[in-house]
Amino acid sequence: MNTVSSTPSAQHVLPPLPYAKDALDPVISAKTLEHHYGKHHQTYVDTLNKLVAGTPYEGKSLEETIAAAKKDGKTSIFNNAAQVWNHTFYWNSLAPKGGADVPAALAKQIDAAFGSLDACKAALLAAATGRFGSGWVWLVQDAGKLRIVDTGNAEQPDASCKPLLVVDVWEHAYYIDYQQRRADHVKAVLDQLLNWRFAADNLA
């Protein structure tokens, strides 16, 4: 996960998108990215910086902040820090003209765990549509095997799991383009935008 890890600094910053704001169109419009990345993600960063200012969390990396806040029961700090991390991981989980180019090492593990890429995508879609309310659907590596985990709100997979990619099922991820049609949005993301090379790079 080197592509989304952070180093200690005085303030957390909004990482740049790995592509232009219109690069995911028409599955995810530039207008959605303006709101989702430019407003929601930015607000999590800004809020986190305000919450940690003058506290023992100030100057910690994002990962250190998430772990410490969860341990200490600092819900607001955890939620905002985790949402900054989750969104950064999500942007990297997408790629223009993605969805089909699966590196061989990852394809082998997908076949072993799910039977086929189509079966893997069907399981991701089922988890995404089955998640009540806001949250995330993750493809993870757990004890050397792939599985799907869905988490609510800002939550992340257990520490024993290695996230490979994630799909955002918060309503703000799709409402501008798809209104209430979460399933249509997720299916389009799975078929056209998933960055399988990023997932392969995250294999342990």
Q: Looking at residue 99, what is its pLDDT?
A: 84
**pLDDT > 80? residue 113:** yes
Band (pLDDT 50/70/90 cuts) for residue 3 is: very low
Strand-pairing partners, residue 8, are none
Task: Enumerate the β-bridge partners of residue 167.
Answer: 137
Q: Could you read off the pLDDT of 63-99 as tens digits, one per residue?
A: 999 999 999 999 999 999 999 999 999 999 999 989 8
Specify the pLDDT at position 4: 63
Can you give the pLDDT at residue 2? 37
pLDDT in tens, 127-185: 999 999 999 999 999 999 999 999 999 999 999 999 999 999 999 999 999 999 999 99
Average predicted confidence (pLDDT) for the chain: 94
Gap between the Cα atoms of 57 and 50, Å rounded:
11
DSSP string, the chain: -TTT-----SS--PPPPSS-TTTTTTTS-HHHHHHIIIIIIHHHHHHHHHHHTTSTTTT--HHHHHHHHHHHT-HHHHHHHHHHHHHHHHHHTB-TT-SS---HHHHHHHHHHHSSHHHHHHHHHHHHHHS-SSEEEEEEEETTEEEEEEEETT----TTEEEEEEEE-SGGGTHHHHTT-HHHHHHHHHHHTB-HHHHHHT--
User: What is the tens place of the pLDDT at every residue in 17-51?
Assistant: 999 999 999 999 999 999 999 999 999 999 999 99
pLDDT higher than 60, residue 110: yes
Domains in the chain, ordered, with CATH?
30-92 (1.10.287.990), 104-201 (3.55.40.20)
**Residue among 66, 29, 25, 27 at smallest CA distance from 48:** 66
Supply 92's token pair.
Answer: 């990297």
Write 129-133 long-range contacts (CB < 8 A, 24+).
129/182, 129/183, 129/186, 131/169
pLDDT-derived band at 6, boundaries 50, 70, 90: low
Task: Give yes or no for residue 9 having a pLDDT over 70.
Answer: no
Q: What gap in Å lies between CA 204 and CA 190, rounded to an integer? A: 22
Looking at residue 10, what is its pLDDT? 62
Looking at residue 1, its pLDDT comes to 36
